[in-house]
Structure 1
Amino acid sequence: MNTHPLSIAQTKFLKNEIINENSSINNIAGLLKLGTKFNYDQVNQAVNQLVFNHDSHRIQITIKNEEHSQYIKEYEETAYPFLDFYQDQVNFDTWLNEQANINIFAYDENLYKFYILKMPNGHLGLFTIQNHIIADGWSMALSINYFITYLTNGDIEAISNLSFIDNIKDEEKYLESKKFEKDELYWRNKLKHDKFQTKFEKLHLEHPFCKRHTIKLDPILTERINYFCLNNEVSVSNLFASIMFALIDKKAVNKINKLGLLIHNRINKNDKFTTGNYTKPLPLILDSNRDLLLNEYIKKVKRESFNVLKHRRYPIDNLVTELNINGNILDCLISFQTASYSPAFIENEFSERKLEIDAIGIPLIIQIFSKNNEEGYLLHYDYQDEVFSSEEINELHGNILNMVNEFAENPNQSLDKIHFV
């Protein structure tokens, strides 16, 4: 059995798993709705081909002498379970919620599950749950497109067989490079910031239960956001980070002080076509200054996020321990994710649904989703319900929308001139 070290990104999620034992904190769960054109055998064959061709699904974690490592299990053809929920909406909804929140982590076992379903309306569905150690949002979109391509025409010749282990080998070279040393210097200086030396009220809970508040932005507002970002050469995640920093400086949001971005971290072309977990949450560290104009927030965030991207590969967790930084280095994480589904996905009118999980590791995660088969951004506010109330999240969303309009209409105004709820 050939074993390999865990990647930097995987190590972060393994730590989450160990700290939050038997929770759903690392779960990625989703439901793919497949209509009535296909049968069990076709769906089962396509899932098997996905698992065969994308070896990240076959990653298993092992431990020996208190050291964790991973290996790729040999492919075995599987008859995935079939469950019939025809005309049984209540039990279907209950089952989905329960399965999305079970803990599937175990040593030397699969870190994923697939179920083929007959849904209450009689259509076929595919449910999956995967541990974040082996997958991320980008990976899920790649998996869906591969699965759909095989399901609809069986043509996989144009899709190369890439291994997640190649990423591990690239990372081992990085850890011995001059780039690693430069990245360490950057993060060592950043993590000495006063923000991490000041004692704040502990917000990170022993049982990090969460709720989700979902908002669908209308196409007009989505287009306004895109127009602003295009004209100011700034990403959507940077716009939302700028808004959150402005709200923090204005003291219009409570309980949030340390902000970060979810970095997708796929460095090269092969990474972008390889399933597996590459994502890392990294802090975006700026000095507080409520005298800034709105467009100056954009410039500061854009500049600092560029620096974060430049030094993103470095494993900052070791520095956090060395510098005696207590607690989590993030209170709020902003994630912008795009899902570009294949023409076959759209032509066959398939749809997917990301399922809610009941645990997160920090007080607030703001996820912005853009799907090429839907109009309007989808916003998920995942929040620890012992830290935030639903009323506070509604208020925060209202202030964010207010700031979107202020940035778009008058970016040269000062923060003091803006009124919040």
Structure 2
Amino acid sequence: MKELLTLSQNQIGTFSQLIEGDYSIGVNAVFKGEVDNEIFRKTLETIVLNNDIFKLSLIKKDVTIFQVLNNSNQYGFQVLEFDSFKEFETWQETHDFRRINLDFLIDFYGIIIKDYGFGVYFKVHHLISDAFSVGLLVNEFIFTYRGYEKNSFSKIERGAYSKVLDAENNYKHSKKIDRDKKFWISEFQYNLNNSYLSSKKTESYRVRRKSFNLSDSESAELKNFAVQNNVSELFIYMAAFSIFMSRINRVEEVNIGTTLHSRFGKNQKNTMGMFVNTVPINIKIEKELKFTEFVNQVDKRKTNIFKHSKFNYTSLKQELTENFGFKGDLFDVIINYQTAKKEFSDEFKISWENCQYQSNNLTISLNCWEDGTFKIDFDYLDDVFSEEEIDNINRQVNNILFNGLQKTDYQISSLKMIDEAEEALYDKINLLDKVTYPISDVKSHFEKICEDNLDKTALIYDGIKLTYDQLNKEANKVARVLLNKGIKKGDSVAIISDRNLQLIINILAIIKVGARYIPIDPNYPIER
């Protein structure tokens, strides 16, 4: 029987059809030791039979995607042998894998590496699996293998996917969905702002990853603050990032997305599937608050956010669009938290394959390793951000974060975003005691600069460049319009505009006619 996608699956159902490559996640995990081929195959067979995900198929009719839980398995496994890890890695790089799409959801291999050990290589369409599910498979593999090996096999209890679908249908017709919807609409109906770190547009959606490791001492500092203040590391980092973003955009509130593993009840916690929900968080930057107070204010939101997370951002966005005319997105940055804690003692090598595409500009994953250290992954659209920009974002956010952790009684407005080297550079640049200024007004000075730098780039915004000559000519055009409208020297002219090229052109035009400009934020209520 065909079933509609769940709300969690709906988040990526349409987007997954826009990309050209695999919309998949995966893992290869290889355990050290000599393999028993019979037990190895038996383990793989048990995994396939024990997990309903191998029975799923997807069908697209017009623009709607349906899922079918079949009576029999639609996917099995292959066993491959390699002489060395190098040969295995070469195979991964050069093998002509079948593309993961709606017609082919799972690619599952048993891997034997003669000079090391044995394990699994698993790729799955993101529509039917999240990263937590992939972790379930790795744990099930080694526990099942060791159980057969010791003649003490006890099958891991997996949830029934049919119960997941039943729970979803019940939710869609319950009072709970109405309460969740009401909660999210009340959070944002009066705060409908596009809170973007970058306004660049893209159609490639291709992700590049840059990773950073916190030192042992930095990791300990973060964890200790979390324990002492009974807050989560995720919301500590999110608080620091929101301060950074508010300064970059010069705003007093920002929206940031986060993803939650919304597995409710024993059945869902034991079922492989897609249960992740993305939700938006609105954070007000009250600059007079101390860092600890601000973190606590952000962290206390988590209970309500998780409680209502089943009605996710995609569902909310549809409501805001239909009922309030909202366009665009509430955020372009998502911050996640992941723990990498293994549930076995075996020595092994593991490599996770993250999804290579995303619709938002930047996803940051705060990963806590078993040894207590943190790794921060920046997955960014490579035609929106450069690697240098990502380096700067990471450095400046960390400056705010650790300045706050070390100076908890400081107001957040006084936390430093730049480090000592940057500060020394800016101090040097701002030594103005020996600078002489030409005896001329701003208009004449600007036009002289334009005359001396005609073909040099003056402005860059959203991929569009203007030379000094072009900028001057555009400003002159607007200045003539103002003069024709009767604007004269000493008048005041209001500018209502977001940040863009035309804003700069308009300011220069007003200066050219001798008037003064009054900037007005278009997001202000009309009464102001």
Contact 2:192–2:326, Cα closer than 8 Å, also in 1: no
Counterparts of 1:226 and 1:207, CA distance in 2: 37
Counterparts of 1:264 and 1:85, CA distance in 2: 36
Asked if residue 239 in structure 1 is aligned to residue 236 in structure 2, the reply is: yes
Structure 2 letter corresponding to 1:14: G
Counterparts of 2:180 and 2:165, CA distance in 1: 18
Q: CA deviation at 1:99?
A: 7.1
Counterparts of 1:209 and 1:274, CA distance in 2: 30
Identify the residue that residue 417 of structure 2 maps to in structure 1.
Answer: 420
CA deviation map 1:333-376 (0-9, x unaligned): 11111243223xx2x2123211355322211111122343x442
Contact 1:204–1:327, Cα closer than 8 Å, also in 2: no
Q: CA deviation at 1:385?
A: 1.4
Match of 1:22 among 20, 23, 27: 20
Match of 1:381 among 371, 378, 382: 378
Identify the residue that residue 144 of structure 1 maps to in structure 2.
Answer: 138
Counterparts of 1:199 and 1:77, CA distance in 2: 42
Counterparts of 2:248 and 2:395, CA distance in 1: 15
Identify the residue that residue 104 of structure 1 maps to in structure 2.
Answer: 100
Match of 2:28 among 26, 31, 47: 31
CA deviation map 1:46-91 (0-9, x unaligned): 22211211112332112346543211233449763344553583x7
Instruction: Decide which moves more: 354-363 or 71-80.
Output: 71-80
Counterparts of 1:77 and 1:208, CA distance in 2: 30
CA deviation map 1:215-270 (0-9, x unaligned): 2333332222221111111112111111111111222899x954111111112233
Identify the residue that residue 133 of structure 1 maps to in structure 2.
Answer: 127
Structure 2 counterpart SS, 1:250: helix
Q: What is the aligned-residue identity percentage?
A: 19
Q: CA deviation at 1:307?
A: 2.4
Identify the residue that residue 58 of structure 2 maps to in structure 1.
Answer: 61
CA deviation map 1:138-175 (0-9, x unaligned): 21221111111111113553622311231221222222
Match of 2:193 among 192, 196, 202: 196
Larger Rg: 2
Structure 2 letter corresponding to 1:340: K
Counterparts of 1:317 and 1:267, CA distance in 2: 23
Tell me: CA distance 1:287–1:327, structure 2 relative to 1, closer, same or farther (3 Å). Answer: same
Q: CA RMSD in A?
A: 3.0
Counterparts of 1:159 and 1:178, CA distance in 2: 34
Counterparts of 1:389 and 1:334, CA distance in 2: 19
Contact 1:23–1:101, Cα closer than 8 Å, also in 2: no
Counterparts of 2:320 and 2:46, CA distance in 1: 41
Identify the residue that residue 332 of structure 1 maps to in structure 2.
Answer: 333
Structure 1 letter corresponding to 2:358: I
Contact 1:22–1:103, Cα closer than 8 Å, also in 2: no
Counterparts of 2:28 and 2:247, CA distance in 1: 40
Runs of 5+ unmatched residues, structure 2:
419-528
Count of matched residue pairs = 410
Tell me: CA distance 1:291–1:159, structure 2 relative to 1, closer, same or farther (3 Å). Answer: same
Tell me: CA distance 1:39–1:306, structure 2 relative to 1, closer, same or farther (3 Å). Answer: same
Counterparts of 2:377 and 2:259, CA distance in 1: 14
Counterparts of 2:279 and 2:6, CA distance in 1: 16
Contact 2:198–2:384, Cα closer than 8 Å, also in 1: no
CA deviation map 1:293-341 (0-9, x unaligned): 3223212312333322121111324214314333333311111112432
Counterparts of 1:58 and 1:408, CA distance in 2: 49
Asked if residue 370 in structure 1 is aligned to residue 364 in structure 2, the reply is: no
Match of 1:185 among 154, 169, 182: 182
Pairwise mapping of residues 249-398 of structure 1 onto structure 2 (< 5 A)?
A: 249-251=246-248, 258-314=255-311, 315-322=315-322, 323-343=324-344, 346=345, 348-372=346-370, 374-398=371-395
Comparing both chains, which one has the higher relative contact order based on Cα–Cα distances under 8 Å and sequence gaps of 6 or more?
Answer: 1
Tell me: CA distance 1:115–1:151, structure 2 relative to 1, closer, same or farther (3 Å). Answer: same
Structure 2 letter corresponding to 1:115: Y
Q: CA deviation at 1:396?
A: 2.0
Tell me: CA distance 1:290–1:27, structure 2 relative to 1, closer, same or farther (3 Å). Answer: farther
Scaled by the length of structure 2, the TM-score of the pair is 0.70
Identify the residue that residue 113 of structure 1 maps to in structure 2.
Answer: 107
Contact 1:27–1:100, Cα closer than 8 Å, also in 2: no
Contact 1:105–1:131, Cα closer than 8 Å, also in 2: yes
Counterparts of 2:394 and 2:195, CA distance in 1: 28
Tell me: CA distance 1:100–1:380, structure 2 relative to 1, closer, same or farther (3 Å). Answer: farther
Structure 2 counterpart SS, 1:325: coil
Runs of 5+ unmatched residues, structure 1:
none
Instruction: Decide which moves more: 376-385 or 112-121.
Output: 112-121
Counterparts of 1:399 and 1:245, CA distance in 2: 12
Instruction: Decide which moves more: 308-317 or 129-138.
Output: 308-317
Scaled by the length of structure 1, the TM-score of the pair is 0.86
